[in-house]
A and B are shown apart, each in its own frame.
Chain A
């Protein structure tokens, strides 16, 4: 930024803008009627209030006169500065204005949703609210600590389990801190505990017979799935708050986007090819996710 401020081009631009503006000031307005600055009664009341909040008393008439004079001075500089386009290349002002515009768009979004809006949102985004798939299963675990004997052990246990029911395998294999019996665990919990690939296999394995072994970061797992629930879509009443939250967020994002696209549509944007160096940097930064 410091560098930018020292940038000759910027100085040139400011100077140019200033000259252009001065020209406008000294030549242009002569032919026009002077602009009007109105300090409204509401504005004066506002100045009084602000003063009172700081000083805990009403301003004296002299002070009020000063406040009004200062307000007028603000206004004059504001208008003239804008006419000189001093705001144009000022990054702070640009950001503030962008924020105000975005606030403006977000404000439009802040409304109470109706049930039918929420029902529609729920129907359109079932994946966000679906009660998760869950599974009940037992496992026979073979720790990777077994090392060289692991392959042979797998054969042996696979043979022993081939005709066994869910409870019969229970004494085989190794212990695992997670336990050997799992009752109605959600898919996300299985992913957290065992990893994604194991969860994938578990949720697609046959039920009511010993399956596997499936690999995890801990070792190999034979599993006996006794029950699997596919989840399902809850009624709005059960998830109303969550739907309302997501609806509001989606609307906020959507409105911002729409608002921007509508405004953007008024412009014909020409982007000149950036230097190659910049592209490489953008790529490096993009790699972090």
Chain B
């Protein structure tokens, strides 16, 4: 993330701020202690053989420990956990902040690059100050010369993409990493709140080929390595090799989640290797082994689909950041889009599978925040922004989020999407259960709303299954859940899908559930179609088979809406009317809410500011499930 704006200088100047990390190490929980808690608090659903609850969380959050966030944010990892668990904390700017409801899990994924450097640098750590850059940065950051402070902050952010770390202190990184893993263990409470250990590998900064690496195990596992950084390698293939070595050496399990393909300028989901050679089966297998999920929606834009790739999809133009790469140094051209968006990647995956025998893009979907504020706060009426330069204040809608050399690629505050949570159908709220559910892709992405979504595929579903009291019972008995493969076809029937969704009790009613199908058609050409499957009210599809819009009750001035349209629940069974048993395909569900006020509307109302007319004021929150695949 690069952050530059004159308006932020004031904030950057305060970058003498930092948080305590030193006191963490002396309160390690014991295994027995955790087991005791587990005994008294364990989920009562543990006996069931399928997941009965969806757990919501954020797999991607930065705190002051991240080198870039650390120049502006002074909230550290401990407060990030407390906030996610539902406690009230005070933000970098002194506001009181609290979530409407606790999250069930959190991955604090601070940048691997110079991990933990900023707090150590600013506390005058002798280890760091003994390096040339450390001394210089410390001197300028504490010089009182704000031009120098700003320049140094930018130098630090820029150095994330350099070839050598300006400060290389293996011991400092290890200290910070182990302080973090100990803290994660301390806040991990099986059955109540899961603190998965993770970090972000931040390679090719300007093109966002970043990944969040997540561990299944506890600190004893994670401490057997240190974060793999882009200084180790900028090539994702090397990251997979590193993860494979780590798994082989330790017997541990890890996974990696890429995100923001929309800012990669055609590099995230290519059909080539990192170096531009034809993709091999081995590399495709490595990718899908370690990258079962993609984070498709977050503050820096939504990456499910794009209107130019899906011209018939009237919902594809949602919170798009599609003018350039991440740092705005290169304009986007239309031919890049096909390698950036999740739906297109899923389609290209079918094509690659036919060619290589392996589908590198057989991934499921999650959403997350990528907030650099230590606050996983993306509810529309409670949105704390991308980084601490755009935390709530009357004019943040027009402040700069990312400054580009060419002003037309500069991202303004209002363009931030208040979004991204991961819904996970795990058998329990534990590290192991949540990790395993991620690995089997039984997950969905939401744009910040906490709707409950079920999606099953099989060959025998019928209307009665949708009417049954607990669709999951039929779903698991007769088919596979989201993220799965359809069982072998033994009937002459097309595949059928059981889909059900329930609104977030605090958000809008549901407009419709759609099923998105992608397949490999004649001549190996990829195809897609979006089907409206169930919807609220008695709307009838129009001439072109399109369902009319649900309506709009949003009162922008007062930032309210009414649930007089839409439905609190939708459920149905759908059979593919265009099924061709010879064609490989995937299906995923997309659930759309009725329009509700966007965060900008809440803010205009709250601060009494008038925003320019191009600022959107309402939104239709949505969820994307992991696909279910059909292979002939």
Contact = CB atoms under 8 A, between A and B. Distances in A.
Interface of A: 1-2, 5, 50, 53-54, 90-93, 95-96, 99, 103, 106-107, 109-110, 112, 131, 134, 143-145, 175-180, 183-185, 188-189, 191-195, 216-219, 234, 237-242, 244-245, 248-249, 252, 284-289
A288 B131 contact: no
Contact of B18 (A99, A184, A191, A219): A99
Contact of A106 (B23, B30, B607): B23
The B contact surface, by secondary structure, is mixed
B144 A50 contact: no
The 5 closest A-B pairs by CB, nearest first: A217-B505, A241-B33, A53-B130, A241-B29, A177-B502
A238 B452 contact: no
B582 interface: no
Contacts of A189: 53
Contacts of A245: 27, 186-187
B506 A195 contact: yes
B312 interface: no
B37 A239 contact: yes
A287 B9 CA distance: 25
B469 A180 contact: yes
Interface stretch (B38-46, B228-236, B313-321): B38-46
A175 B126 CA distance: 64
A102 to B, nearest CB: 8
Contacts of A179: 52, 469-470
B40 A145 contact: no
B503 interface: yes
Contacts of B187: 245
A189 B86 CA distance: 13
A50 B126 contact: yes
Nearest to A90: B144
A92 B144 contact: yes
B36 A237 contact: yes
A249 B79 CA distance: 10
A92 B567 contact: no
Contacts of B96: 289
A176 B569 contact: yes
Given A99-B17, A218-B569, A287-B607, 15 more contacts: A5-B146, A53-B127, A54-B131, A92-B144, A99-B16, A110-B23, A134-B44, A143-B569, A177-B471, A177-B571, A180-B469, A185-B44, A238-B39, A241-B30, A241-B34
A178 B571 CA distance: 13
A183 B44 contact: yes
Interface residues of B, number: 74
Interface in B17-71: 17-18, 20, 22-23, 26-27, 29-30, 33-34, 36-37, 39-41, 44, 52-53
Contacts of A54: 130-132
Interface string B186-207: 1101000000000000000000
B306 to A, nearest CB: 31
Nearest to B469: A175
Contacts of B97: 289
Given A50-B126, A238-B37, A285 B392 contact: yes
Given A1-B146, A218-B505, A238-B40, A177 B14 contact: no
Given A177-B571, A219-B568, A109 B23 contact: yes
Contact of A95 (B9, B14, B127, B394): B14
A219 B569 CA distance: 10
B452 A178 contact: yes
Contact of B33 (A175, A195, A240): A240
A223 to B, nearest CB: 15
20 contacts: A1-B13, A50-B126, A91-B14, A107-B23, A110-B23, A131-B41, A145-B568, A175-B468, A175-B471, A176-B469, A177-B500, A189-B53, A191-B101, A217-B506, A217-B563, A237-B36, A239-B36, A242-B37, A249-B78, A288-B606
Given A5-B146, A216-B505, A288 B569 contact: no
Nearest to A112: B26
Contacts of A95: 14, 16-17
B142 interface: yes
Interface of B: 9-10, 13-14, 16-18, 20, 22-23, 26-27, 29-30, 33-34, 36-37, 39-41, 44, 52-53, 78, 82, 93, 95-98, 101-102, 122-123, 126-127, 129-132, 141-144, 146, 149, 186-187, 189, 392-394, 452, 454, 467-471, 500-503, 505-506, 563, 567-569, 571, 606-608
A143 B469 CA distance: 13
A216 B17 CA distance: 44
Nearest to A54: B130
Contact of A92 (B9, B27, B143): B143
Contact of A287 (B41, B143, B505, B606): B606
A286 B95 CA distance: 7
B568 A144 contact: yes
Q: Choose among A145, A185, A192, A194 the residue with the greatest number of B CB atoms under 10 Å from its CB.
A: A192
Nearest to A86: B144
Contacts of B101: 191-192
Nearest to A284: B607
Contacts of B506: 195, 217
B23 A252 contact: yes
B127 to A, nearest CB: 8
Nearest to A287: B606
A2 B41 CA distance: 54
Q: Choose among B14, B122, B468, B569 the residue with the greatest number of A CB atoms under 10 Å from its CB.
A: B569
A84 B502 CA distance: 67
Given A2-B146, A241-B30, A145 B567 contact: yes
Contacts of B26: 110, 112
A285 B393 contact: yes
B472 to A, nearest CB: 8
B20 A106 contact: yes
A143 B18 CA distance: 51
Nearest to A196: B505
Given A177-B569, A285-B392, A91 B469 contact: no
Contact of B10 (A1, A50, A177): A1
B139 to A, nearest CB: 11
A218 B37 contact: no
Given A179-B52, A287-B606, A92 B142 contact: yes
A239 B131 contact: no
B622 to A, nearest CB: 17
A193 B95 contact: no
Contacts of A103: 20, 22, 123
B144 A91 contact: yes
A184 B46 CA distance: 12
A143 B567 CA distance: 9
Contacts of A5: 146
Contacts of A288: 95, 392, 606
Nearest to A131: B40
A257 to B, nearest CB: 13
Given A131-B40, A237-B36, A93 B144 contact: yes
B144 A180 contact: no
Contacts of A188: 102
A188 B429 CA distance: 14
A181 to B, nearest CB: 9
B36 A184 contact: no
A63 B165 CA distance: 27
A216 B504 CA distance: 11
A194 B505 contact: yes
Contacts of B41: 131
Given A106-B23, A177-B569, A239 B40 contact: yes
Contacts of A106: 20, 23
